[in-house]
């Protein structure tokens, strides 16, 4: 079957667009990591034996990433850092809550957790103070 029209053009252009798409700003990645840790904290039974300490640390990490995202957005020149971060958190939090609940997303989730660990260390968000 031959593809024609806009769909074919989009499929052909997709790899080129992915290679030239700008990297999201650091504050957007920090906000996403906040959503990742927020979802981990809300996973409840996913922590070993209902480990309350893991949930507490994840909530603290989520807050630290969120604070750093707002600070980075301000440093990047965003006119409304808190509003800009809040606007993307509105869809990132439910997205990650759904991803954590999906067993098929585990490999991708683990890659994100590793990425967030590296990002957190680069931006002084991790390790969390005791």
Judged by average pLDDT, the poorest of 1-10, 25-34, 95-104 is 1-10
pLDDT tens-digit readout, 86-124: 999 999 999 999 888 786 778 888 899 999 999 999 999
Q: Show me where the domains of the chain are located.
A: 24-122
Q: How confident is the model at residue 22 (pLDDT cuts 50, 70, 90)?
A: confident
Q: How confident is the model at residue 19 (pLDDT cuts 50, 70, 90)?
A: low
Distance CA 40, CA 64 (A): 14
What is the per-residue DSSP string for 53-102?
HHHHHHHHHHHHHHHHHHHHHHHTT-SSHHHHHHHHHHHHHHHHHHHHH-
């Amino acid at each position: 079957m031959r593809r024609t029209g806009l769909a074919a053009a989009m499929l052909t252009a997709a790899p080129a667009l992915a290679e030239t798409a700008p990297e999201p700003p650091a504050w957007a990645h920090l906000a996403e990591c906040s959503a990742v840790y927020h979802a981990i904290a809300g996973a409840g039974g996913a922590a070993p034996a209902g480990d309350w300490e893991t949930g507490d640390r994840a909530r603290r990490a989520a807050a630290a990433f969120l604070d750093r995202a707002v600070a980075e957005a301000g440093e990047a020149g965003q006119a409304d850092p808190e509003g800009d971060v809040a606007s993307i958190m509105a869809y990132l939090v439910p997205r990650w809550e759904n991803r954590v609940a999906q067993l098929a997303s585990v490999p991708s989730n683990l890659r994100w957790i590793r990425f967030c660990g590296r990002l957190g260390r680069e931006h002084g968000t991790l390790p969390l103070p005791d």
